Amino acid sequence: MKSPSDRKTKTSSGRKARTRTVIAFVLLFLLLGVGGYFAVTFNNLRERVATIQTQSALQEIGDAKDLGEALKRHPQNRVLLTIQKVAKAAEETNAAADKLLGEIEPPSLSRPIDYVKASRNDLDAFRADLKVTEAKASAFASQYLALLKGERGEVERFAFSQNVGKEGLSRILDNLDRRQAEAAAVMSKVSASRAEYYRAYEKYVAMLEGELGAFKIVNGEFIFPIQRTVDRYNAAAQAMTAAAKRVAESEEERKRLAQSQREGWMQLAGK
């Protein structure tokens, strides 16, 4: 049988244990609270540092007048590295677009047709190539949009890997989206004008095929026996000429856009 003193000692030990447990929970709560506070503070500080770095990077481009020069001064600046990645991705997209455009027209269309010697089979084959080329020209617009989507994803992944901060990421992606929207609009015109040209060209050849054997070519001009055929020929030729003009105009717009966008990265500096 335990004595009163034993029970008193046990009760005192239990109270001490409970007290230690309470103190431990309080300390744990305080540590978690302070840890959470420092985590939030650290995140805010990191974001603030990223913002300062972004502003500094943009000022560097403005002062240096050149991204490459700014990178020489600060080769580890994450914002500058991301902007460099954006510019490189844009160049790769342009190169891929040029490749797609170069593949639209087959070599057979670059050879002029001798309408005096051409047979119906020759003209049928030429018209078939024109129809295929028209379809490829029309498809270019959607292919270009796919290139832009891939470019944006590549840039976004790189920017995240660099931890450039919300402000830096927002400014870079906003600029990228504006550039891509402008490029998509121009390339849509390039696609549509080329498709229109090949469609007009096919109708022109079809018109001549229908009159095969009934016309002559004198000094490079087609001579038809009746006025109605002359009118049909003129309409087909004028449609083809107008389409060719729109192709040239869209190409000029494409060249101007490429030049302006190469210079457009300076806008990141707020200029």
Q: What is the DSSP string of 136-180?
A: HHHHHHHHHHHHHHHHHHHHHHHHHHHT-HHHHHHHHHHHHHHHH
Residue 191: per-residue pLDDT: 98
Q: Which stretches in the chain have pLDDT values below 70?
A: 1-67, 264-271
Q: What are the counts of helices (DSSP H) followed by strands (DSSP E) for the chain?
A: 6, 2
Closest by CA position to 173, among listed 161, 186, 183, 160: 160
Residue 264: per-residue pLDDT: 63
CB 183 within 8 A of CB 261: yes
Closest by CA position to 116, among listed 12, 223, 261: 223
Phi, psi (deg, nearest 5) at residue 74: -135, 75
Measured on CA atoms in the order 113, 118, 122, 128, is the torsion positive or negative? positive
| pTM for this predicted structure | 0.74
| 214 contact partners, CB below 8 Å, separation of at least 6 | 224, 225, 229
Amino acid, res. 37: Y
Residue 84: per-residue pLDDT: 86
Alpha-helical (H) ranges within 65-119 are 67-73, 78-102
Phi, psi (deg, nearest 5) at residue 103: -90, -5
| 134 contact partners, CB below 8 Å, separation of at least 6 | 195, 198, 199, 202
